[in-house]
Structures are given as structure tokens and as C-alpha cells.
Amino acid sequence: MPYETHGFKFHCKYCLQICSLENWKPTKEGYFVLDHVPTFIETLRIVNLKIPSINAKFLSEIRPPLQGLIVESSNAVKALHVSANSTVEGIKISNSPINCLQFENNTALQKLTIDYSDLNVIAPSLASLSNLKILRLAFAAIELLDLRIFYGMNTLIELNFSSNNIKQLFSSAAASNTTGKRELKNFRLSDNKLAMIDLDLFEPFHMLAMIDISWNKVESISGTLSNPQLQWLCLSQNRITSLSFCTWQGNENSFVLSASYNRLTRVPSCLTKFPNTVEIRLSHNNILHVDMKDFDGLANLREIDLAGNRMLSLAFWEDVLFPKLRTLFLYENCMCRLNGSEHIVERMPRLQILFNQLDEPCTDMCLEGEKVDNKQL
């Protein structure tokens, strides 16, 4: 049932197992309203919380059966202090000008999300959250990211720093010799301002399955990729001019490479470091010529996307065979067919090759490196 006073509104949605508070100022109105939370409700959502800090006193009032706390659109909230005795398992703070984080040795908190905040630094005390599994700090103003903080957090499964202002990824110290293995599987760094990536920084995360560095300003990649569980590498929407796997320590997992919308001039070298690659996305680069032998040895390859390049030719040799290849995207290039394509179809009858779709006879060509269509000639 809704409960309303002149100061705040309180209502619960039983089907969602959530209770909501609006315009609450606990320092003035007290915490008695929490006594009305039904015993089966797990999450408390607060809109326009009117205190400057979510501190030890506040979190001590969020007791079981409440497990989760959501704070939204709260202009007064500037700080979060998670105490050692807090029992809250999940905290989400959104659209609030929080700029200070402090954490004591806490074993309860498993998920922390802060987005659309005023954060500009990462609190080293995050490492005190010994059971944290998911950390999302997105849509903030963070510029520097020191991975040393996370090397000792063995329970982490996902790190998400998307849509910040991160310009440098580094480690102020080598990974410590902590006991137990690091469980991190997903690392998201998309939509930042990174210009250089050192792949050695990811080496301590042996269980890492996904790295997303899309929508940055990456021009160069150094170091060795040596993550034995990696399955997906996203480098799209950057400024990369060349890419080589030759010094990387590949693996035999099912693998997807996404490097679309870069400045590549050729297919990456040594792709067979990941012999079970299933998709390669290289659309909208500056690739002029492709030799399908660059993909030879990838027997499980299902899709190659080369659309939107400046391709003038593609060599598809008779001794090259991709038994599982189903789609080859070649549209928005400077050619409209493959010489001998009928023989390719005979050898790989399930392969679909997608060219430019034109109603008139195809006479596309490239002039001075720029793609032009029939209507421009």
C-alpha cells in the first residue's frame, strides 16, 4: 500500500519485490518507514535521497531481508562509504553527483554500479570488497585506470568502465602473488579516450573471456595477448592501422574478432593463433586487396565481414576451403563480383557472398582511392 506524508512517498511493488521511497530525508524524518517494508521485499529504491553521504549509519538501517539498494536522481548525495558490517549485497547509484568512494573490509557487497556520476578517480579501497563480483563505473569523468587495484580481487567476474574519459590504462605495480585464481571474465572499456593499449596488462586475468575496447582512439597495440580463455576481442571504432597476432599466445576456444571501423590496410597476420575463430569483422577499414589464404586454417570460420573497405581485388584460390563458412560480406567495395565465383560456389555450396545491390549493370570502380558508384560516372 502507498504511504505518503508531506515529506516523502513510499510504495511497494510486490511482483517486482521492490519498495520505493521518494523525497526522503532520513536525518529529519527518521528510519521508521523501513519498518513497513514487507519481509519478502529484497530491494529498496530511493529517488531524491536528501542526505550528503550514504554512510555506515545509513547502511546499517538497510537490514535483511533487504539485499539491494538503488539510489536515483539524488542531487544531495556526494559520497558512498561502505562499512565493514554492512549486509547490503548490491548497490546501484545513478544520476547523482557522487564524487567520493570509501570502502572498509566488507564481505557482503557483491555488485556495485555507479553511473552518471561526478567520479573522476578510482578508490584504491575498492580492493577491500573481498566478495565483489560485478563492478560498473560508467558515464563518469575517470581519466586514469590503475589495474593493480583489481589484480588481487579474485571474485570479480565483470569490470565495466564504459563511457568515461579514460586516457591511460596502467598498473602501478605487478600483479601480486595472491592465493586463488582470478575469476574475471568480462572487461569493458568501450567509449573512452584510450590511444594506446598494452595487452600485457590483461595477463593476470587468466579467466578473461571478453575484452571490449571499442569506441576509443587506439592507434597502437603493444604487448602479448595471453589469456587462455579469451573468446571475444572487440577493437571496433578505433584508429588502428595494423594488427598482428604473431606474438600473441592464442587458444583453441571459439573466438570472435571485431575490428570494424579502423584504418587497417590489410587483414591481420597470424589469425591461426586462434584456430577455432568463428567470426572476423573487418568492415569499414582501408583494405585494398585480400588474399583468402590469410584465413586458411580457420576450419570453423562461419562469417567474414569485409564490407565498406576500398577493396579492388580478392584472391580465392582453388586449394583454399572453408567448410563452415556461410557468409562473406563484400558490399560497399570497389568490385561487384569474383572471378571464378561459380567454382567457389561449387566447392562451398552453402556460402553466400554479398556484393553491392544495384539495379543497373555493375560498373563500380575506385577513382583516386575513393569509392564511386554508377551514378557518379
Tens-digit pLDDT profile for residues 45-81: 999 999 999 999 999 999 888 999 999 999 999 999 9
Mean pLDDT of 109-126: 98
Using the Cα atoms of residue 234, residue 239, residue 244 and residue 247 in order, give the sign of their dihedral.
negative
Please say whether the beta carbons of 277 and 253 come within 8 A. Answer: no
pLDDT at 359: 40
* Number of domains within the chain: 1
Owning domain of residue 335? 96-354
Q: How far apart are CA 55 and CA 219, in angstroms?
A: 42
pLDDT at 4: 47
The reply to whether 59 falls in a domain is no
The band of 320, judged by pLDDT with boundaries at 50, 70 and 90, is: confident
Mean pLDDT of 323-350: 79
pLDDT at 180: 59
The reply to whether 251 falls in a domain is yes
166 vs 357, higher pLDDT: 166
The band of 350, judged by pLDDT with boundaries at 50, 70 and 90, is: confident
142 vs 366, higher pLDDT: 142
Mean pLDDT of 90-109: 98
The reply to whether 87 falls in a domain is no
The reply to whether 21 falls in a domain is no
Using the Cα atoms of residue 265, residue 266, residue 267 and residue 269 in order, give the sign of their dihedral.
negative
Q: Are strands 53-54 and 79-82 parallel, antiparallel or unpaired?
A: parallel
The band of 367, judged by pLDDT with boundaries at 50, 70 and 90, is: very low
The reply to whether 164 falls in a domain is yes
Summary mean pLDDT of the chain: 89
| Global model pTM greater than 0.85 | yes
CATH number at residue 207: 3.80.10.10
Is the pLDDT reported for residue 369 higher than 90? no
315 to each of 172, 302, 355, 364, how far by Cα in Å? 47, 18, 15, 18
Q: Count CB-CB contacts under 10 A for residue 316.
A: 20
DSSP β-bridge partners for residue 70: 45, 92
1 vs 263, higher pLDDT: 263
Please say whether the beta carbons of 339 and 364 come within 8 A. Answer: no
Q: Which helix (H) or strand (E) holds 57?
A: helix 56-61
The reply to whether 271 falls in a domain is yes
**Helices (H), strands (E): how many in the chain?**
4, 28
The reply to whether 248 falls in a domain is yes
Q: How far apart are CA 348 and CA 338, in angstroms?
A: 14
Cα 246 from chain centre: 25
The reply to whether 43 falls in a domain is no
The band of 264, judged by pLDDT with boundaries at 50, 70 and 90, is: very high
Instruction: Of 124-128, 201-205, 236-240, 365-369, give the lowest mean pLDDT range.
Output: 365-369
238 to each of 75, 206, 246, 259, how far by Cα in Å? 35, 25, 21, 8
